[in-house]
Structure 1
Amino acid sequence: MRTIRAFIALLALGVLVGCDPSVLNQGGVGSETGSPGPAPAAASQQLAELTVSGGLTMSGYSREKFPHWISQGHGCDTRDVVLEHQGTGVHATSACKITSGDWTSPYDGKAYTDPQKLQIDHVVPLANAWKSGAKTWTTTRRQQFANDLSRPQLLAVTSSLNESKGDQDPSQWRPPDRNYWCSYATDWITVKHYWQLTVTSAEKGALSDMLGTCS
């Protein structure tokens, strides 16, 4: 058993053999994975800058159009890196498969020690991204989005909540822990603003309401 923090530190420096510079540039493996979005005032400004649209059709969509959990080098994939950054006391095998640690799901505050009981949620779901603009992207850009380790797009959460959320936006689904609504809204806005994705009018209204919970 071993921690993989040393691996992450080396990867951040870009010195590991086989590192893909484009992944490092867009994903920031050595950055604060899942780091919070901007302050509420800045998030409100970013929300105002988002384009409101009914969205594109879902024709042609599949999760395979967003290659995810790609290799980050030395046996680690994107899921491994998210679990390492968002947990404490994380241990892994020599092949970089996470075996144990301590995690708290931000959506409901539940604690876990078994990584298999967690799923990695795309804060902005892949299907939502597709109809918000990603349908017109190249597969390479969709891969970057699906493995974005710089924006607060990937969160280790309770599996059942990730499944209940599905591809719903904040007008349809919100984390059960109301205390997390402010963070969820700012995270969602950060991702959509950076990737230049659109929002529906209902989605924009829900995000504005959730920003109202920020203290």
Structure 2
Amino acid sequence: MPRTPRPVALLAVVLAAVILGWYSWIDREDASQAAPSDLPATSAPDVAGAPGTGALASEALAQLAVKGRAPRTGYSREQFGRPWRDLDRNGCDQRNDVLRRDLSAISLKPGTRDCVVQSGVLVSPYSGRSVAFTRGSVTSRQVPIDHVVALSDAWQKGAQQWTADRREQFANDFLELVATDETTNSAKSDGDAATWLPPLKSSRCAYVARQVAIKAEYRLWVTAAERDAMRRVLAACPDERLPSGADRLSAPA
């Protein structure tokens, strides 16, 4: 039987290696999307006072570690991964999930599988201000999504020791995301409870309870001044409890 010419045989070997490498790469990509490494559990962790346990916010606050603020060195928004990544894999990014959860009278953009919010009305939980939302390059900024625990605050209170995956999970956690109005969000900036509280006083108990829930969930610490400010707020509402499981991580149906 005639022998295959060496150049042809060599080309066949190279093509086979490329094909096998391609399928191996696809398998790795699928696996990384299906099971990101070192992500925190979506159920309540084994920490007393964790979100979803029905614990009193004041009791959960008492269990948080109290330390000084670490340096802000090395912080950037990019340290917390891609904004609005669809970590719950429902086919819709986190920003639109939050808009659908927090706005009323919404209309959805056709052809987006009921994902993209075209318009709606927000009653800001921080100020009580009613904002008519219309999607657009300028108008969308009127309804920003607030990180309840500011990312730079988290960075200085434990997050800089996390993996990149854990920081990305944190930045896209529904417990951590709330739609609000542009003016109030700008005023808050990256402040903690010691430097900023919602101007709508009736919302402060729920706001602080959510911050406590987030810090308990992710084992972030508080400063002494932050703890004292939280205590003062919760003293006016001693029965305030941590957000329920439905408030923590669930996207709209």
TM-score, normalization: structure 1?
A: 0.78
Once the 2 structures are TM-superposed, how far is the Cα of residue 45 of structure 1 from its aligned partner? Answer: 1.1
In structure 2, the CA distance between the partners of 1:78 and 1:20, relative to structure 1 (3 Å rule), is: farther
1:112 Cα deviation from its structure 2 partner: 2.1
Task: Please list the CA deviations of residues 160-215 of structure 1 after superposition, one character each: whole Å capped at 9, or x if unmatched.
Answer: 11111111111100100011111111011000011000000000000000102227
1:38 and 1:190 in contact (8 A); partners too: no
For residues 200 and 152 of structure 2, what CA distance do their matches in structure 1 show?
A: 24
Match of 1:45 in 2: 59
Provide closer, same or farther for how the CA distance between residues 128 and 25 of structure 1 changes in structure 2, counting only shifts above 3 A: closer
Instruction: State which of 91, 108, 129 in structure 2 corresponds to 1:110.
Output: 129
Q: 1:141 to 1:198 in 2, by over 3 A?
A: same
**The one of 154, 162, 187 aligned to 1:137:** 162
> CA–CA distance in 2 between the matches of 1:179 and 1:161?
15
Shift of residue 90 of structure 1?
A: 2.1
CA distance in 1, matches of 2:232, 2:69: 21
Determine whether 1:98 maps to 2:114: no
Larger Rg: 2
Conservation of the 8 A alpha-carbon contact between 1:126 and 1:167: yes
Of 209, 219, 243, the residue aligned with 1:186 is: 209
1:50 Cα offset (Å): 0.4
The answer on whether the counterparts of 1:37 and 1:43 sit within 8 Å (CA) in structure 2 is no
After superposing the two structures, state which structure 1 stretch, 156-165 or 63-72, moved more: 63-72
Q: CA deviation at 1:37?
A: 7.7
| Cα distance per residue 1:3-30 (max 9 Å; x no partner) | xxxxxxxxxxxxxxxx8466998569xx
- How many residues are matched? 187
Unaligned runs of 5+ in 2: 1-32, 44-50, 135-139, 239-253
Q: Is the counterpart of residue 199 in structure 1 residue 249 in structure 2?
A: no
User: Given the superposition, is the C-alpha separation of residues 69 and 60 from structure 1 closer, same or farther in structure 2, using an over 3 Å criterion?
Assistant: same
Q: Contact conserved, 2:153 with 2:190, CA < 8 A, in 1?
A: yes
Residue pairs, 1:10-159, within 5 angstroms: 20=34, 42-67=56-81, 68-71=83-86, 76-93=92-109, 94-95=111-112, 96-115=115-134, 116=140, 117-149=142-174, 151=175, 153-159=176-182
Deviation at 1:86, TM superposition (A): 1.3
Check the 8 A contact 2:40/2:169 in 1, yes or no.
no
One-letter code of the match for 1:88? S
| Percent identity for Structure 1 against Structure 2 | 37
